[in-house]
Amino acid sequence: MTLNMLVGRFRRETDDIVSIELVDADGHPLPAFSAGSHIDVHIGNGLVRQYSLCNSPAETNRYVIGVLKDPKSRGGSVALHDMLAEGLRLRIGEPRNLFPLDETADRSLLFAGGIGITPMLAMAERLRMLGRPFELHYWGRSLSRMAFLNHIAASDFKDDVRIHCDDAPEDQRVVPDDVLPDPEPGSHVYVCGPQGFIDRVLERARMRGWPESRLHKEYFGSAVSDPADDGAFTIRIAHTGAIVPVKPGQSVVAALAEHGIELPVSCEQGVCGTCLTRIVDGIPDHRDSYLTDDEREANTLFLPCCSRAKSECLVIDIR
């Protein structure tokens, strides 16, 4: 289900990040959401992009998102920045949560890198409301490039936030290793930001003995692969036997569409899980940021928007 929204107001947080307040076009209350949720924003020309909600889940009159203008993106963020104006009409999907907060945790450690601060703000609001202990560590290259600092400074949870800048004097720099403790009973770690940042935090957490069940991550994009590795292969539809060739550099989703087979897609980067598909036979080349390590090792699921095949043929189950 999609919702018709208006841009109520927007604010330039930094040179390349804008916060956008969305309200219902007819003034109705909005569907409730939980901390960690995101929405699909329909930008036009078939572009659909996901943005985390960063306001308090207690609010029902608005959704707030933060959008980084990334010139290396596939056009969504740039288009949204360029078209932005108060009163602009947008269609969005209802909130979904692939990065849920455990509200019963004895303590939550929130690690945000860059634009990864957005879902953490909603988590901080919720944890503060519940009276649950937490720490929010926010890293950025410099203060001038870090969004929502004024919001944090004026918030009820400001004393639970630590700001870390890469351009601080060397003897004052803090890296995730410095503030990540050994596992504590009932504690959970949440991390969001660039892939390198997330991978570093999770690697250090695992080295310290944190169990996977208490490590939570959300990527904003999958790893960039080398096009030279994108060889041709074939897809076979299990229940019909239909054969679909996939060209070098072509996604499975695009190849299927050429043959009249439409899969539901959203992010097209292997992040959201919308196109998750079951594998009957063959070995996939996983390039997503959605599946767990155990799911990848099992090779029974893959994300056809970005992943490919190591075997000559993948047999998939779609209806």
Q: Do 280 and 212 belong to one domain? A: no
Distance of alpha carbon 200 from alpha carbon 1, whole angstroms: 37
pLDDT single digits (tens) 111-126 = 999 999 999 999 999 9
Distance of alpha carbon 81 from alpha carbon 9, whole angstroms: 13
CB neighbours of 104 closer than 8 A, spacing ≥ 6?
A: none
Q: Identify whether 283 is part of a domain.
A: yes
Q: Which of 33, 36, 31 is nearest to 2 (CA)?
A: 31
Task: Answer with the one of 160, 185, 219 that is the final residue of a domain.
Answer: 219
Our count of domains for the chain comes to 3
Q: Identify whether 99 is part of a domain.
A: no
- pLDDT per residue rounded down to tens, the chain (319 residues): 799 999 999 999 999 999 999 999 999 999 999 999 999 998 877 778 889 999 999 999 999 999 998 766 666 788 788 888 889 999 999 999 989 999 999 999 999 999 999 999 999 999 999 999 999 999 999 999 999 999 999 999 999 999 999 887 776 678 888 899 999 999 999 999 988 899 999 999 999 999 999 999 998 765 555 555 688 999 999 999 999 999 998 999 999 999 999 888 877 778 788 899 999 999 999 998 788 888 999 999 999 999 999 999 999 999 7
Q: Name the region of 44 (left: φ>0; alpha: ψ -120 to 50; beta: rest).
A: left
Q: Please, what is the end-to-end C-alpha distance for the chain in angstroms?
A: 21
Whether the CB-CB separation of 277 and 240 falls below 8 Å is answered with no
- Residue 60's domain is classified under what CATH number? 2.40.30.10
Q: Identify whether 185 is part of a domain.
A: yes
Residue 109: predicted pLDDT: 98
Task: Answer with the one of 219, 247, 271 that is the final residue of a domain.
Answer: 219
CB neighbours of 85 closer than 8 A, spacing ≥ 6?
A: 7
Tell me what the pLDDT averaged over the chain comes to.
91
Alpha carbon of 75 to those of 13, 59, 60, 118, 317: distances in Å? 20, 30, 30, 20, 31
Whether the CB-CB separation of 136 and 128 falls below 8 Å is answered with no
Q: Do 19 and 70 belong to one domain? A: yes
Whether the CB-CB separation of 138 and 161 falls below 8 Å is answered with yes
Q: Identify whether 66 is part of a domain.
A: yes
Helix ranges (DSSP H) in the chain: 76-83, 117-130, 149-153, 176-179, 195-207, 252-258, 293-298
Q: Do 186 and 262 belong to one domain? A: no
Residue 10: predicted pLDDT: 92
Q: Identify whether 98 is part of a domain.
A: no
Q: Do 164 and 255 belong to one domain? A: no
Tell me which residue range forms the domain holding 155. Answer: 107-219
Q: Do 272 and 179 belong to one domain? A: no
Predicted TM-score (pTM) of this structure: 0.82
Q: Do 79 and 116 belong to one domain? A: no
Q: Do 78 and 15 belong to one domain? A: yes
Q: Do 210 and 234 belong to one domain? A: no
Q: Do 282 and 302 belong to one domain? A: yes
